[in-house]
A and B are shown apart, each in its own frame.
Chain A
């Protein structure tokens, strides 16, 4: 039965991936007109018939689905209209920054949310717990745009502690250590914004499930055995409270991707969000399409990996299906 569950899961994700690829193939074909008309019809450049035919042959994707798939696999995602660079180069250049920001924010918020959630549930009913739950519920209601803007005004504009934009100091020739520090310095504000957005949810969720787990009998047994409280909390109870955080990940990811896009744009962080923002600004369709497809497939892949991981952490999932 165990394999059946994973096969079904993989099939669902595979199908979702196909839907995304097909959508990105078919949607531009439904557009009225084409790139050449859009670019040159209202500009001062007048094209001769041959020139127009040449550009059209080079820029308009008239390839069939099979050709499109082969191009997709061989990283030939077309050229950006505005930057005249291969889309794959642009994406791969921006990807490390986004991974650094998103991965860092995600790891930090999960770890913090988990530890604080467990501790809060342990101290259930105390005033520290009540205040922290209240604060977290309030922060949970604040969208990333707002935290981002407020942090920008306070820490970049007034206090000047952190740079307001960019991923590192441009054109600076630095030693490796200084460069890492520089990147870290630029990372602080966007990272904190994202952590503030993700952390409360993780905290509230862990606390909620931990409160449930603490009522179970095995926790009482562990306590009765005379184990140190920290061991009861983490080795026995918290492992069971970890699971909802993983299930939630898949449901929240659309939300989180939007958050990254917005936060990167606010701080002009050189990742995929800023790239997308610029591409939208000049209606650079191949680039928009490339980013959308690439990030959706990445999200699908991460989600699927999460499902497998989930089964590994929780034996109940493995045997239930």
Chain B
């Protein structure tokens, strides 16, 4: 895994496009509240007015400024994705490393559990809990990560099993290093590229889920989200609002998932030795 991948990434057009997109979006997400002078929950404007000097994207049916809705919705959607991605990655890496290191019974239990969770369609669990209990987005992100760690865990485990038998780890063992030390000092950092790929895949799926669940009406409707914006706007699609109300959240959502997809694709290409060799 110690190839000089920085050079290779720098030449990959997907990586460059992805990172530029991601930077722009990140900038908008972080600075979102400062870029608009309107509160997204302010309903005092005249509904359905077209874009103007004061309101660049016009006003929606509820009398809210669409641009500030968009900026806040983007924050929530991307935030959900990143949070769920981090959680899923954390669980997946821990389970994968522990299963690989201890093997035997813990490995068996972890992998059979992973099989069961993989078999259950996670979106259905999410829909059911969201419909019954109306949990906070934070809880839903947690549930999502509990449903989606197995793929990461399996990949990490299979790579860790290979690394585990390498010479330097055997040397560390002979020197009397404890399991925790070897995991933290050797296994954990050496599998780094896999985390990035796993994180990108999970974050992308989570953003997609957030938008879809919000679109289906499973989130608190007062919480701004790209999915909710689309679901409100699509009711009026036949009116002349499609370009200033319906299209902006669609484009932003596409750019978000695209940025993450491009990064994932290029990282996978560079780090996956089977594909680079070809």
A222 to chain B minimum Cβ distance, whole angstroms, is 20
- Of the stretches A172-180, A188-196, A236-244, A259-267, the one at the interface is A259-267
Contact of B209 with A by CB under 8 A: yes
Chain A residues whose C-beta falls within 8 Å of the C-beta of B259 in the assembled complex: 141
Inter-subunit contact A292/B120 (CB<8 Å)? no
- CB of A265 within 8 A of CB of B215, answer yes
The reply to whether A277 and B217 form a contact with Cβ atoms under 8 Å apart is: yes
What is the CA–CA distance of A295 and B250 in the complex, to the nearest angstrom? 28
For the complex, give the distance between the alpha carbons of A296 and B116 in Å: 13
Chain A residues near B122: list those with CB within 8 A: 254
Say whether, besides A157-B238, A295-B121, A276 and B127 are in contact (CB < 8 Å): yes
Task: State which residues 211-227 of B face A: CB under 8 Å.
Answer: 211-212, 215-218, 227
Q: Which residue of B120, B208, B262 is within 8 Å of A258 (Cβ)?
A: B208
Residues of A within 8 A of B205 (CB): 255
Beta-carbon contact of B118 and A250 below 8 Å: yes
Contacts of A141 in B (CB 8 A): 254, 257-262
Chain A interface main SS type: helix
Q: Are A253 and B121 in contact (CB under 8 A)?
A: yes
Q: Give the contacting residue for A24; candidates B128, B212, B227; CB below 8 A.
A: B128
CB of A300 within 8 A of CB of B234, answer: no
B125 at interface by CB-CB < 8 Å: yes
* In the assembled complex, A317 has its CB within 8 A of some CB on chain B: no
- Taking a contact as CB atoms under 8 Å apart, the answer to whether A295 and B262 are in contact is no
Interchain CB contact (< 8 A) of B246 among A27, A153, A289: A153
A82 to B118, CA, bound (A): 33
If A145-B212, A280-B216, A280-B217 touch, whether A27 touches B129 (CB-CB below 8 Å) is yes
Contact across chains for A12 and B115 when beta carbons are under 8 A apart: yes
A13 to B112, CA, bound (A): 11
* Chain B residue at minimal CB-CB distance from A140: B261
Task: Give bound CA distance, A283 to B130, whole Å.
Answer: 11
In the assembled complex, which residues on chain A have CB atoms less than 8 Å from the CB atom of B247? 149, 153
Within 8 A of A (CB), among B86-135: 112, 115-125, 127-129, 131-133
Q: Give a binary string over A14-28; 1 marks a CB under 8 Å from any B CB, 0 the rest.
A: 011001100110011
Complex Cα gap A119–B216 (Å): 38
Q: Is the CB of A16 within 8 A of B119?
A: yes
A295 proximity list for chain B (CB < 8 A): 121, 124
**Once the chains are docked, how many angstroms separate the CA of A91 from the CA of B163?**
50
Q: Report chain A residues within 8 Å CB of B14.
A: 137
B278 and A215 form a contact (CB under 8 A) = yes
Instruction: Decide: A262 near B216, CB < 8 A? Known: A255-B208, A295-B124, A300-B120.
Output: yes
A contact residues vs B (CB 8 Å cutoff): 12-13, 15-16, 19-20, 23-24, 27-28, 30-31, 137-138, 140-146, 149-150, 152-153, 157, 164, 208, 211-212, 215, 250-251, 253-255, 257-259, 261-262, 265-266, 276-277, 280-281, 283, 285, 288-289, 292, 295-296, 299-300, 303
